Amino acid sequence: QKEVEQNSGPLSVPEGAIASLNCTYSDRGSQSFFWYRQYSGKSPELIMSIYSNGDKEDGRFTAQLNKASQYVSLLIRDSQPSDSATYLCAVKRGNKLVFGAGTILRVKS
């Protein structure tokens, strides 16, 4: 079992729709969770961090954390073509971040 698992996609959504990205992790003791966005040929860019159960909103992005079920999700409202990228879920384990393989999101105009 991988430490951090994501559906590789691609996830295709029409412009203006809500994109829902999911991630599960295996280490029940994990406390810090992050979502990164990576455009093709670029480096990962931090979008959201979440540390406690529940929802955290930042603009069009909402991160959701459920530690009991060991999953983290990212919702992107009013999706735009510029949101098309790979979204990486990361879980902090000690002094390192463990990344999922990423979900490719395609927003069609």
The footprint of other proteins (CB under 8 A) covers: 31-32, 34, 36, 42-46, 49, 51, 88, 90, 92, 94-102
Nearer to other proteins, 79 or 102 (CB): 102
Cα dihedral sign for 65, 15, 88, 47?
negative
Nearer to other proteins, 12 or 51 (CB): 51
Min. distance of Cβ 92 from other proteins in angstroms?
7
Nearer to other proteins, 11 or 97 (CB): 97
Nearer to other proteins, 8 or 78 (CB): 8
- Count Cβ atoms within 10 A of the Cβ of residue 87 and give its class: 0-12 exposed, 13-18 middle, 19 or more buried: buried
Asked if residues 75 and 17 have their Cβ atoms less than 8 Å apart, the reply is: no
β-pairing, 85-93 with 33-38?
Answer: antiparallel
